[in-house]
Amino acid sequence: MENNEYLKSVLDREKITDDSPEVGELQGHREKIEKIIRDKFGASPKIIYGGSKAKHTMIRESYDLDIICLFKFDDNSAGKTLKEIRENVKTLLADSYFVDESKKLSLRLKDKENQTDYHIDFIVGKFEDEKEKYANMYWNGPEKEYIRTSPDVQISFIRDSKLNDFIRLVKLWKIKYGLNVKTFIIELLVIKLLDGAENKDDFETNLTEFWGNVKDNVKNTAVEDPANPSGNDLSDSFNDSVKDSLSFASENTLELIKNHGWESVFGLTKSLGEVEKIAILSQSAQKSPTKIKPYA
């Protein structure tokens, strides 16, 4: 199989649509959550999809549903401060869900009885004015009390980049390598490094150039929140440790592809028996240098 055709088959394998069972279950929770909010606070909050669902970058290997709930700038029905709004919304949702507050920006919603993860992050904020472009969102951390951003700007910047498929492949690569880097950073990095690509259908060439750039130049690369470049410092999420891990993984990936081909990175896409799969992957692992992590 030609490499570009293989990479397209990986994308097909990872494709999730609105008709997929996983999305249907998530959308069912979205409807339930929106009803809970509307029954209490009426029509004021604007409730929208965020994250990979809105940006068209979902992958089957790992998916979450981000739901963003933004109150009008002059609506104090849920509280006067961002902290009050978050606490009141959390209390409301806690009647139906186990609410995990471990994340700084979002509330993670899980099964109330056994804490099964529903892959849902609920984000609460308030528009700063009647234009409803920018919003302040409560930040559960010691370094600041809120962040100012625009979900619409962030979403459209990623969604309309024409690099959605590259982002999906790099997200999958990140997961396979177990890289501790935020997806938003990955999205911005792909756009920064591949925005000028002449042929956006050439997955093989562009991914190879992407990893080569990350390997050699990521130390001197910065990314910015397109909605608030000067106000939201992303350096904590894109620090030297993250850059080192990305550079190392990129070097290993290029070496792995050179020695064992693309399937050693993204896995098999054709239907094989379990014995045959194990035999192929075992051979790849035995041939690989110790520092390289083969597909698993």
Q: Strands 117-127 and 65-71: what pairing? A: parallel
Query: What tens digit of pLDDT does each residue of 46-96 get?
Result: 999 999 999 999 998 888 899 999 999 999 999 999 999 999 999 999 999
User: Which tokens go with 266?
Assistant: 């993204």
Contacts 24+ apart (CB under 8 A), 17-22: 20/60, 22/60, 22/63
Categorize the per-residue pLDDT at 281 as very low, low, confident or very high, splitting at 50, 70 and 90: very low
DSSP code for 201: T
Quote the CA–CA distance of 295 and 140 in Å, as a whole number: 36
> Nearest Cα to 86, choosing from 70, 110, 64, 65?
70
CATH class of the structural domain 16-151 = alpha beta
The distance between the two most distant Cα atoms of the chain, rounded to a whole number of Å, is 63
- Reply yes or no on whether the pLDDT at 256 is more than 90: yes
The alpha carbon torsion through 11, 12, 18, 22 (nearest 10 deg) reads -90
The answer, yes or no, to whether residue 277 has pLDDT greater than 70, is no
CB 89 within 8 A of CB 78: yes
Percent of the chain topping pLDDT 70? 90
pLDDT at 180: 93
- For residue 37, the tally of other CB atoms under 10 A from its CB is 22
Residue range 120-132, pLDDT digits in tens: 999 999 999 999 9
Contacts of 131 (CB under 8 A, 6+ apart): none
User: Pairing between strand 144-149 and 135-141?
Assistant: antiparallel
Mean pLDDT across the stretch 140-148?
Answer: 86
pLDDT at 287 over 60: no
pLDDT (mean) for 262-284: 57
pLDDT at 278 over 80: no
On the question of pLDDT at 11 being above 60, the answer is: yes
Please check the confidence at residue 246 and state whether its pLDDT lies above 70: yes
Residue 285 pLDDT exceeds 70: no
Looking at residue 209, what is its pLDDT? 95
Average pLDDT, the chain: 88
In the predicted structure, residue 178 carries a pLDDT above the cut 90: yes
**pTM (predicted TM-score):** 0.85
Structure tokens of 292? 């390289």
Instruction: Sort residue 119 into left (φ over 0), alpha (ψ -120 to 50) or beta.
Output: left
Average pLDDT, integer, range 243-264: 96
How far is the C-alpha of 70 from the C-alpha of 132, rounded, in Å?
9
116 and 110 Cβ atoms separated by less than 8 Å:
yes
- Could you report the per-residue pLDDT of 194-212, keeping only the tens digit for each? 988 878 889 999 999 999 9
- For residue 270, name the pLDDT band (cuts at 50, 70, 90): low
| Consecutive H or E run containing 119 | strand 117-127
Q: Answer yes or no: is pLDDT of 274 > 50.
A: no
pLDDT category of residue 20 using cuts at 50, 70 and 90: confident
Give the integer Cα–Cα distance in Å for 161 and 186.
13
Between 93 and 282, name the one with better pLDDT: 93
What are 120's strand-pairing partners? 65, 109
- Confidence (pLDDT) at 112: 94
What residue spans define the domains of the chain? Answer: 16-151, 161-287
Q: What is the mean pLDDT of residues 132-160?
A: 92
Which pLDDT band, with edges at 50, 70 and 90, does 24 fall under?
A: confident
Q: Distance (Å, rounded) from C-alpha 26 to C-alpha 132?
A: 26
pLDDT given for residue 23 in this prediction? 80
Yes or no: domain 161-287 corresponds to CATH 1.10.1410: yes
The answer to whether 202 touches 173, Cβ cutoff 8 Å, is no
